[in-house]
Structure 1
């Protein structure tokens, strides 16, 4: 759950500073054990403090050195999925209730209420304008009412919340509003042209949050001509938008550039836009990540690119010096199953014999089982019990070449290839392997 609330950590008296805190209740209580606060900066997350969650209640005491800005409250792993982003203004004390089913309820904090109320109302008003266009409505009166409502909401919230952190977001979120009636095509062109008019992309607080990266993402993948009819046209237009975004990002810190381009790369990945992924990585993200000594990210993306659905699998070889076999040169089959396992892995020893039995009758299937091993002693014994598989060995286990090429982090790991040896599925279990192959 990703919600923006306000954080108050500091009460300033005439001559002393008191340590601020944030408290609240999580529900269901049994599902929460701890909470960690990170300051969000243009160059990434910076640890601030943490606290235990007892019977659903927590109380975070923030350092007096903590600065106003956006803080990320992480309550589970993976950390990039289970968090609440908060505004910390050093003026308010915040209490809230958070329920996994019903979401967030702020008990106090005017700034957060302003923020949440604004985005709730402006989103509804913007949706009304899009619904007007989509419905083919021709009522000038209704159109004018929608435009008036958008102007009134934006102006009111900007005027009432000046000099707050929330105001930075409210002002930056001001989108294009027509002064008079425009058809859909004209509206979308103008909306794209003015997308960045009010975005202060050099504001470190905005850079630290997800707000700016989301704005870049909406521009790149949504600010598109309405007459696109082919995948090639879509790719071309999206890449043009990436280039425009890259020009704007030049003035921002490298850490923020990496975050922004990586977000675009992930959106392209989620939408199966491999050409866009490659364009972003090769022209921008890889260069900036290397310059910033972020080799880990480069390797992560290179592995993901090698293994993405539709890509031809890297080669695997096995056999003796006199008789070598290769995945890419082996005889044709309708499907290929790659299994990465280990003879010392208890899950493997349980799953593989059963899988060997269940897929034995599946026609036109070839299986290559790669053992990630420290030595071949036990591997020889176990692999001999699975005669229906082609067996390769990768000495060095997790540090082996195949473990790196295929990004193996646990065993067993499965990949299913089509007749051209392209990835078509990455099953999570032996049962899923059988289900996919049988269907």
Structure 2
């Protein structure tokens, strides 16, 4: 009996060990204490865990098999970087300056290999064409001509072979990126090729970051006049009740949202709502963020972080006959042209007890602070860019995005442009 007990204890101890460890080293003067590790599902970052720094290092123990893209996010400074996992230990060292990441040094073999391959691929796509044009102006027997010829030859060569057994994720990513997303992929890949790839790929499709761009490529291959036919053909093959079918449906709904293809979004969002099967977390998240901002829904409350021009603690605390909620950024060119039009009518709106609440997707505090000095309405920002909590809560995919609320915080209109806002209130 004692031997059986000991064996059970040994087995239990092994089950508690991490499948692999992610270790991030930072300089002593790096001020962030917390780091968040994300995995990937399609285009959605999924929080795995949050760790505190110990001896200038964050250590994450990942308990199961995972091959794909990962991300580390530092919420205090809004620093972030990506890396890969091949179900082996990951070791990364950061170089920082003024509490910003200056360089990411990959100390494990897989990430170093992936980084070198991506750098070479970028140079091949972006630099090689320019070098080939420059070469025409230099003779081969000059010192610079010889250097040009050598570099062109190096970049023109194929990437070093990748052993799929040794590096399964790197092989999967690079092979399929070259096939479906490289500059000349559209010339040789058909819709059926893409459908077969999405249907037959293993779980690395969801973790690779390839799914959304491949879907966009698929839609482009079908043409603007055949969008519904293309999507229906794909979903029919995948079976929308399956986990992959639901992930693809969720991605497509978001794609139609991003590209303002409202009729297609409504059609496939309706399909998702009417599913009778068990809904995956991925699709449930898309359904929830869209339900939050439907006409007639109560706009989810938001706790202000550093509000300007108000003493209110939350968005719902602001009392008005109507509210105009704007999601914007100081670096957004459309915001630059649209918000001054709203500013010109601000006094007219305020006189009618219509309040404006602007939530910024900025990351740079100085840029944000400088810009809001001209805006007399309520301003707030988490200064986390697209990592801001409200980007997902309010299903925001672009700036500026507008909502009009009634006195009870119900959504009564979702204008597309500032002109629609002014027209709604008859102040044009």
- Relative to the length of structure 2, the TM-score reads 0.51
Q: Is the 8 A contact 1:150 1:177 kept in 2?
A: no
1:213 is paired with a residue whose SS is helix
Give the direction of change, closer, same or farther, for the CA distance of 1:273–1:97 in structure 2 (3 Å limit): same
1:60 is paired with a residue whose SS is strand
Name the counterpart of 1:109. Answer: 108
Matched, 1:153 2:161: no
In structure 2, list runs of 5 or more residues that go unmatched. 1-16, 132-152, 303-310, 324-343, 356-392, 396-401, 407-411
1:239 corresponds, among 224, 228, 232, to 228
Residue pairs, 1:165-314, within 5 angstroms: 165-175=169-179, 188=186, 190-193=188-191, 194-195=193-194, 201-220=200-219, 222-223=220-221, 225=223, 234=224, 236-250=225-239, 254-283=242-271, 285-288=272-275, 291-292=278-279, 297-304=286-293, 306-307=294-295, 314=296
Q: Is the 8 A contact 1:68 1:90 kept in 2?
A: yes
Q: Is the 8 A contact 1:42 1:255 kept in 2?
A: no
Give the direction of change, closer, same or farther, for the CA distance of 1:362–1:289 in structure 2 (3 Å limit): farther
1:362 corresponds, among 348, 354, 372, to 348
Hey, what's the Cα distance between the residues in 2 that align with 1:86 and 1:282?
Answer: 36
Q: Is the 8 A contact 1:111 1:164 kept in 2?
A: no
Aligned residues: 305
Name the counterpart of 2:121. Answer: 122
Give the direction of change, closer, same or farther, for the CA distance of 1:124–1:19 in structure 2 (3 Å limit): closer
In structure 1, list runs of 5 or more residues that go unmatched. 1-15, 133-147, 179-183, 226-233, 308-313, 317-337, 370-405
Determine which structure has more spread, i.e. the larger CA radius of gyration: 1
Name the counterpart of 2:92. Answer: 95
Name the counterpart of 1:25. Answer: 26
2:189 is paired with a residue whose SS is helix
Q: How many angstroms does 1:277 deviate by?
A: 1.0
Hey, what's the Cα distance between the residues in 2 that align with 1:150 and 1:224?
Answer: 33
Hey, what's the Cα distance between the residues in 2 that align with 1:150 and 1:298?
Answer: 45
1:146-198: per-residue Cα shift (whole Å, max 9, x none)?
xx9998435x34459854321121222232699xxxxx9x9845334544676
Give the direction of change, closer, same or farther, for the CA distance of 1:240–1:116 in structure 2 (3 Å limit): farther
Q: Is the 8 A contact 2:35 2:51 kept in 1?
A: yes
Give the direction of change, closer, same or farther, for the CA distance of 1:72–1:159 in structure 2 (3 Å limit): closer
Give the direction of change, closer, same or farther, for the CA distance of 1:297–1:163 in structure 2 (3 Å limit): closer
Q: Is the 8 A contact 2:18 2:64 kept in 1?
A: no
Give the direction of change, closer, same or farther, for the CA distance of 1:74–1:360 in structure 2 (3 Å limit): closer
Hey, what's the Cα distance between the residues in 1 that align with 2:232 and 2:130?
Answer: 30
1:87 is paired with a residue whose SS is strand
Hey, what's the Cα distance between the residues in 2 that align with 1:177 and 1:211?
Answer: 9
Q: Is the 8 A contact 1:173 1:199 kept in 2?
A: no
Q: Is the 8 A contact 2:74 2:80 kept in 1?
A: yes
- Relative to the length of structure 1, the TM-score reads 0.50
Q: How many angstroms does 1:201 deviate by?
A: 4.5
Name the counterpart of 2:415. Answer: 424
1:66 is paired with a residue whose SS is coil
Give the direction of change, closer, same or farther, for the CA distance of 1:124–1:249 in structure 2 (3 Å limit): farther
Hey, what's the Cα distance between the residues in 2 that align with 1:189 and 1:116?
Answer: 27
Q: Is the 8 A contact 1:217 1:263 kept in 2?
A: no
Hey, what's the Cα distance between the residues in 2 that align with 1:273 and 1:215?
Answer: 18
